[in-house]
Structure 1
């Protein structure tokens, strides 16, 4: 039986997923031979995938090496501005177009995610699933594509704001408000609820980063 050879897309997706789930963190060096061994592909598709990721600014040069990129303060602020606008639009459209089944899935996610409080990494993964579900519920493929790019860049953040004490519980309350607005078909309320949610997450991250910088002095 003939097996399909791994493609550039396969290698690209595997490396991207590894960055997204934290296998490789900002500053980590990516070596072709090691990646080829890890993913069981030849070095050629790995090399092409790394070039693509570098072009997308997900990888950066450190001398002759490629490392997972990190975001400075200005890049972080720019990312959150774009994320806030696009996520708010997704919530607005979801309030108009989401099927009842999609709303029920969102509500079930909020309920089930309460079991993850106290586990920031698991809650962060669940948070990504929740937001992705809202993106899909917008029923706008072009918006979903743009949000995928934004969330790809979010993988360059070494920590999650959900690790801050009390943030997990508050985030789930905010998720509940977003779902309630979507379920009511209130696009404006859904838009505002999601934008506020992103704004609070950004503020939480800024305070956490400031505290970490002060502690390091």
Structure 2
């Protein structure tokens, strides 16, 4: 069976999410059409949609990838913390044995990515997405998808900070252990602590307070 072809919106969003387009980059309709091998009409519609979602910002007649200032970053982390903690609580309540097995396997497999911030960042997104799905609440998953789209506007990952990768993986392990134990309070708190520490690391990175790997 031939895999479904990705639309223009998904292709541009993934390029932003994976660092192909960074905050401040100008997106040109004709260049995107050539890059993705499609007509300019779906590209134009995708750009309009991304602008509506505040992922792109108007700069005169051009559109550029948005960036987050300090206040926007703080606001985003407040929302993310609460929603992620709720997802972990619900996952502890509703996750199937198979979903818990997948989470455990992810933690074990991600050890191979230590020292590779880009690979670990991709694995981190998959891990959190799996927790969202294990919550078995479609409306919560939709809201978290919106939050994580905005997270793509960060120019770097907090996992690039020296030593953060091993600590983050230990935090993932604690989250999974709480979910496996069906301990809703502990799972929610473990996820909350994980996001809080990631936010502190990001603030230090942005201020030059900690070093990052090359």
Q: Give the structure-1-normalised TM-score.
A: 0.93
Per the alignment, residue 76 of structure 2 pairs with 79
Give the gaps of 5 or more residues in structure 2: none
Per the alignment, residue 149 of structure 2 pairs with 152
Determine if the alignment matches structure 1 residue 195 to structure 2 residue 178. no
Give the gaps of 5 or more residues in structure 1: 1-5
Per the alignment, residue 69 of structure 1 pairs with 66
Per the alignment, residue 172 of structure 2 pairs with 175
- The verdict on how the C-alpha distance between 1:17 and 1:81 changes in structure 2, with shifts beyond 3 A counting, is same
Determine if the alignment matches structure 1 residue 31 to structure 2 residue 28. yes
Q: Tell me how far apart the structure 2 counterparts of residues 194 and 169 of structure 1 sit (CA, whole Å).
A: 16
Pairs aligned (count): 206
Q: Give the structure-2-normalised TM-score.
A: 0.94
**1:201 CA drift (Å):** 0.1
Q: Which runs of 4+ in 1 moved over 3 A?
A: none
Q: Secondary structure at the match of 1:208?
A: helix
* Root mean square deviation, CA, Å: 1.3
Per the alignment, residue 107 of structure 1 pairs with 104
**1:63 CA drift (Å):** 2.1
Q: Tell me how far apart the structure 2 counterparts of residues 15 and 208 of structure 1 sit (CA, whole Å).
A: 26
Describe the superposition over 1:169-211 as per-residue Cα deviations: whole angstroms up to 9, x where unpaired: 0000000000000000000000000000000000000011111
Determine if the alignment matches structure 1 residue 186 to structure 2 residue 186. no
Q: Tell me how far apart the structure 1 counterparts of residues 30 and 209 of structure 2 sit (CA, whole Å).
A: 35
Per the alignment, residue 127 of structure 2 pairs with 130
Q: Tell me how far apart the structure 2 counterparts of residues 81 and 212 of structure 1 sit (CA, whole Å).
A: 22
Per the alignment, residue 94 of structure 2 pairs with 97
Q: Which moved more, 1:59-68 or 1:198-207?
A: 59-68
Per the alignment, residue 22 of structure 1 pairs with 19
Per the alignment, residue 116 of structure 1 pairs with 113
Indicate which of 130, 133, 142 corresponds to 2:139.
Answer: 142
